[in-house]
Amino acid sequence: MANGALSEDIALRIGLAARTLPDTDAARLLRVLADAVGLPPTAESLGRLKVKDLKDAAEGELASLDQDDLKAALAILKGEGLEGLEPPPPVEPYADGDMPDSVRVACASNRGEDLDGHFGSARRFLVYQVSAKESRLIDVREIDDSQADDDKNAYRADLIADCQVLYVASIGGPPAAKVVKKDIHPIKDPKGGSARDRMVALQQVLATSTPPWLAKVMGKSPEERVRFEREESEA
What pLDDT shows up at residue 111? 83
> 37 lies in a domain?
yes
Say what the pLDDT of residue 84 is.
Answer: 53
Residues 20, 159, 91, 186, CA torsion sign: positive
* The model's pTM: 0.67
For residue 173, being part of any structural domain is answered with yes
Residue 87 in any domain: the answer is no
Q: Collapsing DSSP states into helix, strand and coil, what is residue 137?
A: strand
How many structural domains compose the chain? Answer: 2
**Residue 135: beta bridge partners?**
130
Do β-strands 185-188 and 165-168 pair in parallel, antiparallel, or remain unpaired?
parallel
Three-state SS annotation for 3-32: CCCCCHHHHHHHHHHHHCCCCCCHHHHHHH
- Same domain, residue pair 227 and 114: yes
Count other Cβ atoms within 10 Å, centred on residue 21: 23
Q: Which residues of the chain have pLDDT under 70?
A: 1-4, 81-86, 219-235
Output the domain CATH number for residue 191. 3.30.420.130
Domain coverage including residue 216: 103-234
Cα separation, 160 vs 229, in Å, equals 27
CATH code where residue 47 lies? 1.10.150.590
